[in-house]
Amino acid sequence: MNTPADLVPPPVPGEDGAYDLDDAALYLNRELTWLNFNFRVLAEARNERTPLLERIKFISIVGSNLDEFFMKRIGGLKQLVTAGIQDVAVDGRTPEEQMAEASDLVAELEARLRQSFDDLLPALEAEGIVVRRFEDLAPEHKEEILEEYVTNIYPLVTPQATDSAHPFPFVSNLSLNLLVTLRHPGDTQEHLARVKVPTSPGVNRFLRTGDGTTFVPLESVMAADLDRLFPGMEVVACEFFRATRNANTEKDEESADDLVEMIEAELRERRLAPIVRVAIGTGMDRVHKGLLAAELGLDEVTDVFEVTGLLGMRDVSELMRVDRADLKDAQHHPVDHPDLTTPGSIFYTIREKGSLLLRHPYQSFASSVERFLEEASQDPKVRAIKMTFYRTSGDSKAVHHLMEAARNGKQVAVVMEIKARFDEEANLGWAHDLASVGIHVTYGVVGLKTHCKTVLVVRQDFDGLRRYAHIATGNYHAGTARHYCDLGLLTCDPAIGADLTELFNYLTTGYKPSRNYQRVLTAPKGLKDAILEKIDREIEHQRSGQGGLIQFKLNALEDVDVCRSLYRASQAGVKVDLVVRDTCRVRPGLPGLSESMRVVSIVGRFLEHGRIYYFGNAGDEEYYIGSADAMRRNLESRVEILAPVERPELREELRFLLDTQLADAVAGWQMQPDGSYVRRPSDSPDDVDSQTAQIRRAEAQHWQATRLKRRQVRGVQEEPVRVGPPLA
């Protein structure tokens, strides 16, 4: 199975056989490679090894991703075009060319998405899960659905006329709408009305009948009951449309007098931002299509998309609410970290072990990160807590632990990133709550987003003040910690503690004197140069006969300087292994350029989100983890950190992760030189993917640690611990 290739012809070496590393054809386009990732996600909806309702989940994810793509990426490109900016990207495309090619790829992706959903409907129906339009229901089910609609939804519905006395109504972002054509009895003049489908956290897109396994789209119920909205009128036609607005409304914070006011203004403007696309149902009247385009300020040809079937495919996730465990992945329960299975002080454990590597969602977020914060908030020996926030959950225990710490008299400082897109409003609320209990809240450094994830705890130990730290690849978000694959490091390494003290002093003041970091690598100053220098070092090792090896696990590889350096490394013979989830600019496997380079993408039940940077360094290996992707924005416009992982036992865990993902023959996709991806062939139906291997490893380690502790309590000499599957 292949995904789409890049549309640009492959690069050609010069007469001397060498490639020009500035050749645009060497660098794949960011937008197209991200769309390509969604083809890989969609392939899971067609994968027969994936449980039926999980296949629906992947349909929903692609639908949601497409919405975000238009809000963020197409919205940004449209702004460049409107501003007359025709700068050519490193891949040789202008903003207009990127939009045109992305539009073609979106059309293909949308078609596959809807076909995939239609193909799943018979399989769902065979399991008793049915999606029906209202008009196709049995009479008794129609009556049941109408009663539910009239009682609990109809009061929320507001029809809006569109005529000379009523201007075309405001259309909110991602709203699904009915465009209703009406006539007075005996009159030939037609009138138009818009009716918004009132989906919200309290109103589902699908209504469910009797046994709860028949799903009826709300819009089809509303369309069948228009006589109630327009009594005495003749309903001529009812058509559907859905709008997507631009989410790129960022202002210049350097000129803002008040950052909070600026963010609040951005949120207001985003609600009113220009619409970037409208999806319409099949068969909409051409005049109405043109009217929508004109009223919403769109190009009828490029910005209005006619689609078959449901609009807003993200909502099909509601089908997963059916209580059918046999049609879903086996329920996953994170286990405790093997060193955190006892009730003693977590600070004592960290001090004794040196450092702990956390692997979510395989190991529990609650019994590690949240426990770390909870104990810090209550421990009378803890003097201060400092923490960064980028995103967190609505019921964040982390926030509540910090508030408890402040009430317990500890010094608490929080760097809250209120420019985290789509989470600005939530983060403003958290910032207010934290400040209300006396926590020192700052918003980072002007002009930079604070993307690093870290906690610093200062504790009065028996031998003086000691700094304990947590550095993570993912957010302090309990919800995503169950579905995102992330890494974290708990440590009391004095040098790392000193580095984080410097980092927080920078974040809470914004002052930029020369800061000397001993162990961590920081952006925007230092991290990118360090990565490039370490790549160059591998090249020198290769040339000196010691061998070179580079392995990165990332969400995205986009920075051109890093890509160019990786090309040079592969040219020199350095083995370059890249596990990149979505956007990846480099082309592996080009003769004479990237023959020793391979790019693998893992798409599984969990979202791959961790970042690892590994350098062979002629045997003196280096492992780093952190929240920074190899993207220009991360390396130059965000505050990021990478932390070294040095304990041999922890490195063994990272090595297992990298090796299993590079060899994954179930969830692994390998990039081809033309930018397409091929799913790796599995030799056996018994093969397991790398995420399942991680689950089994974590469970085995937990089981063995628990067994060891029980035997030690009973005074039994334990045999050496071996990592393997638990015995039956």
Say which residue the tokens 């631009």 belong to: 246
Question: What is the structure's pLDDT at 259?
Answer: 58
708: pLDDT strictly greater than 90 = no
> Would you state the structure tokens that stand for residue 17, as one six-digit string?
């056989």
Q: Is the dihedral of CA 121, 127, 130, 131 positive or negative?
A: negative
Confidence of residue 2 (pLDDT cuts 50, 70, 90): confident
619: pLDDT strictly greater than 70 = yes
Q: Are residues 641 and 560 in the same domain?
A: yes
**H or E, element range at 116:** helix 95-126
Of 1-5, 506-510, 670-674, where does mean pLDDT reach its minimum? Answer: 1-5
Exposed, middle or buried: residue 235 (CB in 10 Å: 0-12, 13-18, 19+)?
middle
Confidence of residue 616 (pLDDT cuts 50, 70, 90): very high
255: pLDDT strictly greater than 70 = no
- Segment 537-554 mean pLDDT: 98
Long-range contacts of 117-124 (CB under 8 A, 24+ apart): 117/45, 117/56, 117/59, 117/309, 117/310, 117/313, 117/316, 118/309, 119/46, 120/45, 120/52, 120/55, 120/56, 120/59, 123/52, 124/52, 124/56, 124/319
- Segment 587-616 mean pLDDT: 97
* Residue 665: alpha-carbon gap to chain centroid: 23
Q: Are residues 488 and 592 in the same domain?
A: no
| Inter-residue contact 645 to 357 (CB < 8 Å) | yes
Known catalytic residue: 451? yes
Count: domains in the chain? 3
Confidence of residue 17 (pLDDT cuts 50, 70, 90): confident
- Segment 200-227 mean pLDDT: 93
Q: What are φ and ψ of residue 245, in 5° steps?
A: -105, 155
pLDDT tens profile 32-83: 999 999 999 999 999 999 999 999 999 999 999 999 999 989 998 988 888 8
Please check whether residue 581 lies inside any domain of the structure. Answer: yes
Task: Give the integer Cα–Cα distance in Å for 567 and 561.
Answer: 10
Task: Give the integer Cα–Cα distance in Å for 352 and 493.
Answer: 11
| Inter-residue contact 130 to 208 (CB < 8 Å) | no
Please check whether residue 325 lies inside any domain of the structure. Answer: no
| Inter-residue contact 629 to 554 (CB < 8 Å) | yes
Nearest one of 31, 43, 42, 23 to 6, comparing CA atoms: 31
- Segment 25-32 mean pLDDT: 95
Name the percent of the chain lying above pLDDT 90: 77
**H or E, element range at 227:** helix 226-229
| Inter-residue contact 189 to 164 (CB < 8 Å) | no
Name the 3-class secondary structure at 421.
Answer: coil
Q: Are residues 594 and 497 in the same domain?
A: no
Which segments of 467-606 does DSSP mark as H helices, in order? 494-509, 527-543, 560-571
On average, the pLDDT of the chain sits at 91
Options 337, 360, 401, 451, the catalytic residue: 451
Q: Are residues 514 and 589 in the same domain?
A: no
Q: What is the CA radius of gyration of the chain?
A: 28
634: pLDDT strictly greater than 90 = yes
| Inter-residue contact 357 to 475 (CB < 8 Å) | no
pLDDT tens profile 76-110: 898 888 888 888 999 999 999 999 999 999 999 99
Nearest one of 402, 587, 383 to 468, comparing CA atoms: 383
| Inter-residue contact 552 to 622 (CB < 8 Å) | no
Name the DSSP class of 370. I
Q: Are residues 672 and 716 in the same domain?
A: no
Question: What is the structure's pLDDT at 721?
Answer: 43
Please check whether residue 490 lies inside any domain of the structure. Answer: yes
Question: What is the structure's pLDDT at 89?
Answer: 92
272: pLDDT strictly greater than 80 = no
- Segment 172-189 mean pLDDT: 93
More reliable by pLDDT, 304 or 425: 304
CATH number at residue 510: 3.30.870.10
Of 14-23, 378-387, 424-433, where does mean pLDDT reach its minimum? Answer: 424-433
Question: Helix 527-543 to helix 560-571 angle, to the nearest 10 degrees?
Answer: 10
Please check whether residue 232 lies inside any domain of the structure. Answer: no
Cα angle 632-638-641, degrees, rounded to a multiple of 5: 100
b or e along 479-491 (b: 16 or more beta carbons within 10 Å of the residue's beta carbon)?
A: ebbbebbbbbbbb
Q: Are residues 636 and 666 in the same domain?
A: yes
Please check whether residue 524 lies inside any domain of the structure. Answer: no
Question: What is the structure's pLDDT at 4?
Answer: 87
Last residue of a domain, one of 504, 519, 534: 519
Q: Are residues 578 and 679 in the same domain?
A: yes
More reliable by pLDDT, 631 or 391: 631
More reliable by pLDDT, 661 or 709: 661
Domain residues for the domain of 417 are 338-519
- Number of residues written out for the chain: 728
Name the 3-class secondary structure at 36.
Answer: helix
Q: Are residues 670 and 568 in the same domain?
A: yes
Please check whether residue 36 lies inside any domain of the structure. Answer: no
724: pLDDT strictly greater than 60 = no
Please check whether residue 613 lies inside any domain of the structure. Answer: yes
Q: Are residues 621 and 491 in the same domain?
A: no
Task: Give the integer Cα–Cα distance in Å for 487 and 474.
Answer: 7
**H or E, element range at 105:** helix 95-126
Q: Are residues 628 and 700 in the same domain?
A: no
Please check whether residue 630 lies inside any domain of the structure. Answer: yes
Nearest one of 517, 537, 475 to 642, comparing CA atoms: 517
Question: What is the structure's pLDDT at 677?
Answer: 96
* Residue 110: alpha-carbon gap to chain centroid: 20
Name the percent of the chain lying above pLDDT 70: 93
Q: Are residues 359 and 449 in the same domain?
A: yes
Q: Are residues 610 and 630 in the same domain?
A: yes
726: pLDDT strictly greater than 50 = no
Nearest one of 114, 117, 109 to 37, comparing CA atoms: 109
